[in-house]
């Protein structure tokens, strides 16, 4: 039995009543370290030592380069995947493991660096792109934590409910510090999941009317609602749906563009269960494979992109480009109507329409991703 904030007398009493022995952190469970606080190198050193044994020099000498690649993919990555799915490993260990793997594949010895005949980035590409389908430990750790964060949002389990109640406030990460070994790695990916997913409207019982993203953007961001009012915004989406039709609140009807965008969203004929959908998935679910491709995608620099002085996120920029040029894009499948997106860009609709009629798609892309008017 393992406890944290509990007196020794109470802990011993519970251990005696339940018949358990009192344990001490840290300890190993199914080969994965269990500890408290931010992950440190010492917590994962036993795993690193076992990997070093697997990458012994005599194995590298006996194996061909493809044999060494297969050993890394099937054995080494398999030893890491369980802990990678829970913790964010220290950068020092990840850099060391990548260096070992690189040297082992090329020379057969983790301590001998060979002159590379092909770029390592090329080696790590998928088979159909001319690579050997190797993955760096950085990318594996990143996409598995992204997948874990997705499960936190979508699974209806006690663990998911516990995490959301403890670490999230109105769907966003809490600002205070938590002495948690898992949350320190998940924190940055929770916002990524929120920005790249959308609620598919069913009966509206699970969707917060103001704080959840069910129309391409949250209502509080469209209406510039102050954050100190968030605790009072508890209404569910079902409060504005009556017999399969929209019955908007007077506070929303005061904004005609927003109200018009909402009423254009098609509601299901029969009541369904609300569910969160990943914008870039054909089946709305984020698998580990999709998380990997998403984590290594090229990210254009959007720091200079402004829509009449209003910063635009990558998600909104891509959606807007889809409205203009690619209405059949997979990102558009979760938007019930184009009208639900126009409210995001109402202030610059006239200028952008004129740009559409006078410029090509490439010119629009340069404007969107270059941050300058064409």
User: What does pTM read for this prediction?
Assistant: 0.73
CA distance 345 to 316: 9
pLDDT for the residue numbered 104: 93
CA distances from 23 to 10, 13, 27, 91, 114 (A): 14, 14, 8, 30, 47
> CA nearest 183: which of 170, 159, 167, 160?
167
Alpha-carbon distance 29 to 7, whole Å? Answer: 25
Helix (H) / strand (E) element for 257: namely: helix 256-263
DSSP tag of 118: S
Please give the sequence-ordered ranges of beta strands (E in DSSP) within 106-196, or none if there are none: 168-169, 172-173
Residues of the chain with pLDDT under 50: 300-327, 329-374
CA 13 to each of CA 1, 2, 3, 16, 18: distance values in angstroms, whole numbers, following the listed order: 12, 13, 12, 5, 9
Instruction: For residue range 1-14, list pLDDT tens digits in order.
Output: 777 677 888 888 88
Q: At what angle do helices 77-84 and 41-54 cross, to 10 degrees?
A: 160
Whether the Cβ atoms of residue 24 and residue 43 lie closer than 8 Å to each other = no
Determine contact, residues 189/145, Cβ cutoff 8 Å. yes
Cα→Cα distances 5→10, 36, 118, 162, 347, Å:
10, 12, 54, 17, 53
Which residues make beta-bridge pairs with 275?
Answer: 200
- Reply yes or no: is the peptide bond before residue 83 cis, omega within 30 of 0: no
Residue 23 DSSP one-character state: P
Q: Specify the pLDDT at position 298.
A: 61
Q: Could you tell me which of 371, 370, 373, 335 has the C-alpha nearest to residue 351?
A: 373
> What distance, in Å, lies between the first and last C-alpha atoms of the chain?
65
pLDDT of residue 93: 96
């Amino acid at each position: 039995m393992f406890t944290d904030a509990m007196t020794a007398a109470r802990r011993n009493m519970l251990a005696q009543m339940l018949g358990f022995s009192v344990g001490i952190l840290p300890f190993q469970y199914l080969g994965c370290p269990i500890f408290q606080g931010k992950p440190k190198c010492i917590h994962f050193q036993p795993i690193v030592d076992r990997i070093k044994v697997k990458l012994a020099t005599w194995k590298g000498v006996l194996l061909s380069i493809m044999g060494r690649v297969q050993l890394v993919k099937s054995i080494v990555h398999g030893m890491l995947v369980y802990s990678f799915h829970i913790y964010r490993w220290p950068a020092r260990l990840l850099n060391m493991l990548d260096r070992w793997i690189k040297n082992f594949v090329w020379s057969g010895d983790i301590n001998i660096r060979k002159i590379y005949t092909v770029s390592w980035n090329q080696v790590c590409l998928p088979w159909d792109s001319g690579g050997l389908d190797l993955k760096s430990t950085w990318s594996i750790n990143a996409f598995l934590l992204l997948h874990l964060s997705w499960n936190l949002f979508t699974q209806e389990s006690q663990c998911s409910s516990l995490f959301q109640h403890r670490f999230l406030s109105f769907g966003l990460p809490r600002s205070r510090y938590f002495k948690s070994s898992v949350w320190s790695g998940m924190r940055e990916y929770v916002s990524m999941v929120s920005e790249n997913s959308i609620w598919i409207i069913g009966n509206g019982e699970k969707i917060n009317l103001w704080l959840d993203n069910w129309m391409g953007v949250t209502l509080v961001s469209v209406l510039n609602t102050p954050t100190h009012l968030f605790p009072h915004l508890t209404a569910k989406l079902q409060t504005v749906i009556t017999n399969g039709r929209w019955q908007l609140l007077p506070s929303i009807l005061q904004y005609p563009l927003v109200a018009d965008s909402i009423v254009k969203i098609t509601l299901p004929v029969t009541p369904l269960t609300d569910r969160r959908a990943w914008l870039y998935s054909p089946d709305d679910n984020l698998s580990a494979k999709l998380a990997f491709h998403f984590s290594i995608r090229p990210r254009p620099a959007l720091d200079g992109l402004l829509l009449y002085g209003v910063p635009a996120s990558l998600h909104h920029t891509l959606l807007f480009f889809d409205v203009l040029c690619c209405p059949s894009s997979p990102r558009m499948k979760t938007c019930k109507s184009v009208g639900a997106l126009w409210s995001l860009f109402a202030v610059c609709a006239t200028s952008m329409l004129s740009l559409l009629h006078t410029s090509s798609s490439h010119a629009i892309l340069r404007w969107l991703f270059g941050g300058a008017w064409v």
